[in-house]
Structure 1
Amino acid sequence: MIKIHHLEHSRSQRILWLLEELGLDYEIVHYKRHPETMLAPDELRAIHPLGKSPILEEDGIIVAETGAIIEYIIETHSEGRLKPPKGTPEARAWTYWMHYAEGSAMPPLLMKLVFQRLPENANALMRPLVKSVASRAESGFVDPRLKEHIDYWEASLSETGWFAGKEFSAADIIMSFPLEAAVSRAGAGDRANIADFLGRIHARPAYLTALEKGGPYAYA
């Protein structure tokens, strides 16, 4: 049976959602974040050297990284579901979004989070200076990059409402986290196509079941 090492409030929620969409049996091993650092616990390093979630285990196979796990599940268990037919424009788009979600979309969102939290981690004497530097970095570099991505998502969704063709697919699952994070951190919720996309995925029974099983998830 598939076993998912799942961290609360994390990108691994998408793996549970994918498994629910496919109707597969799986086991969840739950992990909580450190209350002060918000990092994953060291116990995950016993499964994978980097100690990050999600991690999939099945029959002695260990797979890490969200995109790689999704591709593994699709290749071994989906029976052709949630991926467009090979060789089609939709399949090429599917592969693009699978890599884009973590490779291009997440870095500016992570930078946004880091700069937002820098002042609160500085001592009282340095806090005003740190806040000023972080604010300039956000407004001068991070926010313009995020706007480029948000504009791109909004335009991409305007075509069919999904990221890889006319049908819902695993590309939409992997792209959900950047969009949810951008609504939380960068005001993307005022974009009509993004808001509509998130409303539709949040209403999916498999998404709701995965939330129940996965536990706390700040972006739901």
Structure 2
Amino acid sequence: MITLHHCPQTRSMRTLWLLNEMEVEFQVRTYAFDRSLRDPAYLSLSPAGRVPALEIDGERMFETGAITEYLCERFSPERLGRMPGVPDRMAWLVWLHFAETISQHTAALTQQHVALREDHMRSPIVMKLEAARIGKCYDALEARLSTPVENRDYLLTSGFSAVDISVGQAVYMARFFAKLDKHPAVAEWYERITDRESFAESLPQGEGIYDRDFYEPWPVD
């Protein structure tokens, strides 16, 4: 049995979406976004106290990129993964890990807007810089998705894969802080991939981290 340790609206949603897409048998243990992740029992699964953590065949895994690579190699090497030797292997690896480039900026903004509860703790400079950096990530995606290549409905020419899930989940989080208005190709791609049932099944069933749909660079009344 596979057990996913998960907090709604965090990077672990990436693994949940992937597992739903694979249609493998698994169970989810859900945690609040709080100090419960510092419990010694949880730290034995994820030493930095982060989600996701994955238990499989008596072993443990953490780090979404590693989890994605392993699950694709084992359960979906051709449909969701791209194994060594296939033409899209290099691009698959690049975009898989680009998800973390986006997520680091979203994490900084989540800290500013959500974790720091008083305005005097927050930095308007950090908020504006990190939102702008997400915009630069959108620029990279826009360039990729607007390239006049046959079948450019997804990040890879060979079709939908785990990189659309990884980057798509990162964009799902980033959209709380930076809109897609100026990136039409990204918006079309995002709408396409989030129309999948596996995405809907990965959304929070109740409250998540965020209490609104969009956060301005500086808190407003």
How far the C-alpha of 1:175 sits from its partner, in A, is 0.4
Q: Does 1:114 align with 2:103?
A: no
Q: In the aligned structure 2, how far is the partner of 1:13 from the partner of 1:118?
A: 19
Task: Tell me if structure 1 keeps the 8 A contact 2:72–2:81.
Answer: yes
Larger Rg: 1
C-alpha displacement at 1:83, in angstroms? Answer: 2.1
1:66-85 alignment runs, 5 A limit: 66-84=64-82
Structure 1 partner of 2:159: 167
1:154 match: 142
Q: 2:139 aligns to what SS in structure 1?
A: helix
Q: Going by fraction, where is helix more abundant, 1 or 2? A: 1
Size of the alignment, in residue pairs? 206
Supply the RMSD in Å over aligned alpha carbons: 2.7
- 1:207 maps to what in 2? 199
**Compared CA separation, residues 119 and 48, structure 1 to 2 (3 A):** closer
Aligned match of 1:192: 184
Distance in 1 between residues matched to 2:198 and 2:127, nearest whole Å: 36
Unaligned stretches of 5+ residues in structure 1 = none
Gap regions ≥5 residues in structure 2: 214-221
Equivalent pair of 2:45/2:61 in contact (CA under 8 Å): no
Identity of aligned residues (%): 29
Q: Distance in 2 between matches of 1:31 and 1:216?
A: 12
Q: 2:175 aligns with which of 179, 183, 186?
A: 183
Match of 2:102 among 98, 105, 108: 105
Q: Retained in 2: the 8 A contact 1:98–1:171?
A: yes
How has the CA–CA distance of structure 1 residues 116 and 166 changed in structure 2, closer, same or farther, with 3 Å as cutoff?
same
Preserved CA contact (<8 Å) 2:3 2:55: yes
Tell me how far apart the structure 2 counterparts of residues 169 and 3 of structure 1 sit (CA, whole Å): 22
CA distance in 1 between counterparts of 2:116 and 2:48 reads: 27
- 1:136 is aligned to 125
Question: Under a length normalisation based on structure 1, what TM-score does the superposition of the two structures give?
Answer: 0.80
Deviation at 1:63, TM superposition (A): 0.7
Q: Give the 3-state SS of the residue equivalent to 1:80 in structure 2.
A: coil
**Offset from partner CA, 1:123-178 (integer Å, 9 cap, x none):** xxxx3xx66xx223444x43443322111111112231311224110011110122
Give the Cα–Cα distance (whole angstroms) in 1 for the partners of residues 16 and 86 of structure 2: 27
Q: Following the alignment from structure 2 to structure 1, what is the Cα–Cα distance between the partners of residues 44 and 127? A: 36
**2:217 corresponding residue in structure 1:** none
Is 159-168 or 111-120 further displaced after alignment? 111-120
**Is contact 2:20-2:201 (8 Å) kept?**
yes
